[in-house]
Amino acid sequence: MYWQQETDSDSYQVPEDVVDLQFKITCPRIPVDHGRALGEALSEVLPWLGEEPLAGVHNLHGAESGNGWERPSDAREVVYLSKRTPLVLRLPAGRTHAARSLSGTYHSVRGHPLQIGEPKQRLLSKAGTLYARHVLGPAGADEDAFQQWAIAQLRALPVVFSKVLCGRSHRIDTPSGERLSWSLMVAGLSPPDAVRLQQQGLGPYREFGCGLFIPYKAV
């Protein structure tokens, strides 16, 4: 029998061993499928980015909106970013000092300029419902096979959850060629399990924005 004691959400203290480092940026627009290009650009300054198991780079996202504007689905189109859109790196605490060297650097992401400003550090969320925009499962898996794989991976972490919902699929560029990614929502997590899932992620290519979970209310 598996038994997990309930945790009081209000009293639970989120650990600081993995955090999000949020940089101000100047970047008016960026391609919809920019994860690999962005990760490779940042790796020129942080060569360890793809080798650090707990490190990841969140994709940049514009508002999907109340004004009738929706995020383009074609990977070749561009997303227009708000001036408030940050660049967020998920990092083990021991890497945050080195990552601050990104401040003041300039990059080209598929021909689109990106200027990185000063960062601020924030703790991971203890929200019970988390969401990942891109998760890469087994190559060639359909939605049912992907969802079963995701459930098995979650149980292996291990985390306890009440619901897993597979969402949209997108084709994204990876070093192994174009791959199909899926969005994934996981609900019913205790605060420690929510933090564990954000720390560990799911699947490969975290440096390209895959497998990184955020609170569902932030989507």
CATH of region 18-122: 3.30.70.1890
| Main-chain phi, psi angles of 87, to 5 degrees | -100, 125
Count of residues for the chain? 219
Looking at domain 130-218, its CATH architecture is 2-Layer Sandwich (3.30)
Domain boundaries, the chain: 18-122, 130-218
Helix H, strand E, coil C: the string for 74-129 is: CCCCEEECCCCCCEEEEEEHHHHHHHHHHCCCEEEECCEEEEEEEEEEECCCCCCC
* Residue range 21-50, pLDDT digits in tens: 999 999 999 999 999 999 999 999 999 999
Sign of CA dihedral 68, 69, 75, 77: positive
* Residue range 103-160, pLDDT digits in tens: 999 999 999 999 999 999 999 999 999 999 999 999 889 999 999 999 999 999 999 9
